[in-house]
Chain A
Amino acid sequence: MRTPRVTLRWLWAAAMSVIVALGSFGSALAEEYPGLFRGVRPLGMGGAFFTVSNDENALFYNPAGLDAVKGPARGTILNPYAAVSEHSLGLYREIADLEGTDEAQVAELLNRHVGEHQHSEAALFPNVYMHDFAIGVLGRAALDLDVRNPADPEVATDAKVDVAGLVGVAHGFWKRRFRPPISW
């Protein structure tokens, strides 16, 4: 009787199946993964960027993509980024039109924005990236605001300032079939 051989290819397939299964189960239950930074190019590509991930945004999305970076080292000095949600623009205009801090006007303003999520964000991300390696510094400030529950009002604000140094490395094994990434 022939004994089946356990090869590296089988182990690789089994490991990937477990990781994919865990990832699928998690995403079915979990809320949106809190992203530290969302680059313009990845946002434009939707979820597809995860499969390419060959620029500085790989540090936040999929550092394994650094193994696919070709050519000389590249970088940006400031790389500014700003985002304001559609609802927030309307809210800021209404706040600008407020006369003083009249409680009645503020209550009416908040009542018009119940259930809307307000988000504003600005960031700088100078970085350098090359084949198998990327390094950057992120400075980011974000403000989220929600007005909820008109019967028992709640105004939830969440202000964050992040300053972070990031390093990502990746390396391909077995003819680049396996490209495990690490980022800090």
Chain B
Amino acid sequence: MIRRWLTVVWAGALAAALLGCGDANLFDGLSEDTSAARVEAAKIAIDDGRFSEAIAILEGLCGADTAAPTCDDETATLLAAAYAGRGGLNTFDLIPNVVNTNSGSAAGGFASFSTLFLAPTADQKNDMHVAVAILSNLSNPSSDQSLQLAIVAMTDIVITLGVDLTGGFQPNTGLPNNRPDLSTVQSAETADQTVTRTSEDLALVVQGVNGTGLVNEDVIDDINQVRSTMDVNHDGTVSPAEVQAFVFNL
């Protein structure tokens, strides 16, 4: 009789130990969130440089409509990072540039970015544009997401100018290979909306910089130098003449 009671008590204690009251018990695995697993797979792909694979995984969660992603802001930001990564942005490479360049000039600030994209391509331009679109549609961006928007939008400006106007940039200095005249800029605007796009990016750069709450940071200094020099009359937009003058005077 005692042995039977002992068995019952032991079985009860065993059940309590298995089910547990804490976070980790035998049944935890049953509630595994598969979307979390897919996000982690995408993060690993980004770490490995397999950006296209990461984009495919994340678009399975967020959809392809950048204006209305079907995922949360964190996942959308990761998708933007995958596009920016495929477009050639490596922020770890950017940091030494912004630390080491002369932040007192627009040319120095521009070169921090342009030396990373000496021969930009149309594919890079498209990827960076998608990254900008995703980040600009976040509903309530954090300080980090705002900084990311400022950096990606600035990169988009550099790549756009490099592809549409300058034929890339010179090694070491990051200065333009070609310096376009006004008619070339106007033609590029007609063909590719180069100035419109640059103007929109510049507005997003301002939005991102303001959202970070950061001042006196090297990367913010570089971005501000470019933005204030390009937007000569400080009206928040740039004209073909302003773009031409900026590139010509780098």
Instruction: Tell me if A7 is interfacial: C-beta within 8 Å of chain B.
Output: no
Q: Are B30 and A149 in contact (CB under 8 A)?
A: no
Q: Are A149 and B48 in contact (CB under 8 A)?
A: no
Instruction: Tell me if A151 is interfacial: C-beta within 8 Å of chain B.
Output: yes
Chain B residues lying within 8 Å of A108, measured Cβ to Cβ, are 92, 96
Closest 7 CB pairs of A and B: A26-B29, A115-B47, A30-B29, A111-B92, A104-B96, A107-B95, A151-B85
Cβ-defined partner of B84 (8 Å) among A107, A152, A180, A182: A152
Q: Are B90 and A111 in contact (CB under 8 A)?
A: yes
Report Cα–Cα, A34/B25, bound state, in Å: 11
Q: Are A22 and B26 in contact (CB under 8 A)?
A: yes
CB A2 to nearest CB in B, in angstroms, measures 27
CB A34 to nearest CB in B, in angstroms, measures 7
Instruction: Tell me if B7 is interfacial: C-beta within 8 Å of chain A.
Output: yes
Show the binding face of A for B, using Cβ within 8 Å.
Answer: 19, 22-23, 25-31, 33-34, 102-104, 107-108, 110-111, 114-115, 148-153, 171, 173, 180-183
- Known contacts A33-B24, A151-B85; A107 and B92 CB within 8 A of each other: yes
CB B90 to nearest CB in A, in angstroms, measures 4
CB B240 to nearest CB in A, in angstroms, measures 31
Would you give the 0/1 interface string for B205-238, flagging 1 where the beta carbon is closer than 8 Å to chain A?
Answer: 0000000000000100000000000000000000
Chain A residues lying within 8 Å of B29, measured Cβ to Cβ, are 25-30
CB A80 to nearest CB in B, in angstroms, measures 26
Report Cα–Cα, A30/B24, bound state, in Å: 11
Report B22-73 residues with CB < 8 Å from chain A CB: 24, 26-30, 32, 34, 43-44, 46-48
Show 6 A/B contacts (Cβ-Cβ < 8 Å), sorted by A: A114-B47, A115-B44, A148-B47, A151-B46, A151-B82, A173-B10
Show the binding face of B for A, using Cβ within 8 Å.
Answer: 7, 10-11, 13-14, 17, 24, 26-30, 32, 34, 43-44, 46-48, 77-78, 80-82, 84-85, 89-93, 95-96, 99-100, 144, 148, 218
Q: Are B26 and A23 in contact (CB under 8 A)?
A: yes
Q: Are B46 and A148 in contact (CB under 8 A)?
A: yes
Q: Are A171 and B10 in contact (CB under 8 A)?
A: yes
Q: Are A149 and B43 in contact (CB under 8 A)?
A: yes
Report Cα–Cα, A44/B129, bound state, in Å: 51
Report Cα–Cα, A108/B32, bound state, in Å: 36
Q: Are A149 and B47 in contact (CB under 8 A)?
A: yes
Chain B residues lying within 8 Å of A23, measured Cβ to Cβ, are 26
Report Cα–Cα, A33/B26, bound state, in Å: 10
Chain B residues lying within 8 Å of A34, measured Cβ to Cβ, are 24
Q: Are B48 and A115 in contact (CB under 8 A)?
A: yes
Closest to A28 in B: B29
Chain B residues lying within 8 Å of A33, measured Cβ to Cβ, are 24
Q: Are B32 and A149 in contact (CB under 8 A)?
A: no
Chain A residues lying within 8 Å of B27, measured Cβ to Cβ, are 22, 26
Cβ-defined partner of B43 (8 Å) among A19, A148, A182, A183: A148
Q: Are A180 and B28 in contact (CB under 8 A)?
A: no
Closest to B77 in A: A152
Q: Are A152 and B91 in contact (CB under 8 A)?
A: yes
Report Cα–Cα, A25/B29, bound state, in Å: 7
Q: Are B93 and A111 in contact (CB under 8 A)?
A: yes
Q: Are A26 and B30 in contact (CB under 8 A)?
A: yes
Chain B residues lying within 8 Å of A27, measured Cβ to Cβ, are 29
- Known contacts A107-B95, A108-B96; A151 and B30 CB within 8 A of each other: no
Cβ-defined partner of A26 (8 Å) among B28, B84, B148: B28
CB A149 to nearest CB in B, in angstroms, measures 5
Chain B residues lying within 8 Å of A149, measured Cβ to Cβ, are 43, 46-47, 78, 81, 85
Report Cα–Cα, A110/B47, bound state, in Å: 12
